[in-house]
Amino acid sequence: MKKCKIDAYSILERIRSQKPIVHHLTNWVTIYDCANIVKVLGGSPVMAHAKEEAAQMVGIASSLVLNIGTLTPEFVEAMKIAAKAANKKKIPVVLDVCGAGATDLRDKKSFELIEETRIDIIKGNASEIARIAGEDVSTKGVDAASVDLDMHEAARRLALRTRSVVVVTGEVDIVTCGVTTYAVENGHPLMSSLVGTGCMAASVIGACAAVERDLALAATAGLVCFEIASELAAKSSRGPASFKESMFDHLYQMGKEPLNKLQRVQCE
């Protein structure tokens, strides 16, 4: 891999000017932060899970984010309806396989979503993606478990097989469409002392995918924005809560210079 430069700011600018609607069917724990991070980026979040309106709401959206963090079988049925509507409308669908590997239900429903609908971006931490990739690993709840695996390779194989962009979050994030692979080295350890950073990342990626057709680039740009905001926030934080507040403020104010100067991206 070699150092590369991506124009994250142009994607951020498009979110700010187009204000895309990012529709979510997400979990009840971090739903507010998922909505709010899309808002501070400049987008317009919608969260609606009734199966009676899931498809119609997709009609006004520019991307769809699914997150199985607090799934039930009924909730996943609504996700499928929304995803099929999004597929038909040809807007990108992001799936956060939150907690995959922790229970059979999560694995089964993740596989169903990937098989029965078109998922454009599959996102998870190393152990979640390893499970979705069919590797045998154990997950420690929803928190990142380091897995004994070449995640670059596993992600690439999963991407080629599903024809999806695969995003593996961690100290170094991997984004791959199977051909081009980005590694994002930005971020700050405080992110892992705060609930919801993974879910927020999926929403950020959903907002970027709403305005940029190159989905690997969109996902990478989203992670760069989010993680540079985190780095800036960490400088003046006294703990995870002040860090969180500052991270949202920094993302809202994010300018071109820090995005260019602080990004640490490699690609191949």
Contacts with 253 (C-beta within 8 Å, 6 or more apart), sequence order: none
Compare residues 182 and 243 and give the one whose CB is closer to a copy of itself. Answer: 243
Compare residues 4 and 47 and give the one whose CB is closer to a copy of itself. Answer: 47
Q: Residues of 140-169 as b/e, b for ≥16 C-beta within 10 angstroms?
A: eebebbebebebbebbbbbbeebebbbbbb
Q: Which residues contribute to the site for a copy of itself (CB under 8 A)? A: 19, 21, 27-33, 35-36, 39-40, 44-50, 52-53, 56-57, 60-61, 69-73, 99, 102-106, 139-143, 193-196, 237-242, 244-253
Q: How far is the CB of 106 from a copy of itself (least distance, A)?
A: 7
Tokens found for residue 147:
């897995």
Q: How far is the CB of 179 from a copy of itself (least distance, A)?
A: 35
Q: How far is the CB of 194 from a copy of itself (least distance, A)?
A: 7
> In whole angstroms, what is the distance from residue 202 CA to residue 199 CA?
5
Q: Say how many residues make up the chain.
A: 268
Q: How far is the CB of 29 from a copy of itself (least distance, A)?
A: 5
Compare residues 42 and 92 and give the one whose CB is closer to a copy of itself. Answer: 42
Q: How far is the CB of 97 from a copy of itself (least distance, A)?
A: 14
Q: How far is the CB of 69 from a copy of itself (least distance, A)?
A: 8
Cα dihedral value 266, 90, 128, 190, nearest 10? 60
Compare residues 195 and 262 and give the one whose CB is closer to a copy of itself. Answer: 195
Find, among 236, 239, 119, 226, the residue nearest to 190 by Cα.
239
Return the bridge partners of 44, or none. 21
Compare residues 156 and 244 and give the one whose CB is closer to a copy of itself. Answer: 244
Cα dihedral value 190, 194, 197, 199, nearest 10? 170
Compare residues 45 and 222 and give the one whose CB is closer to a copy of itself. Answer: 45
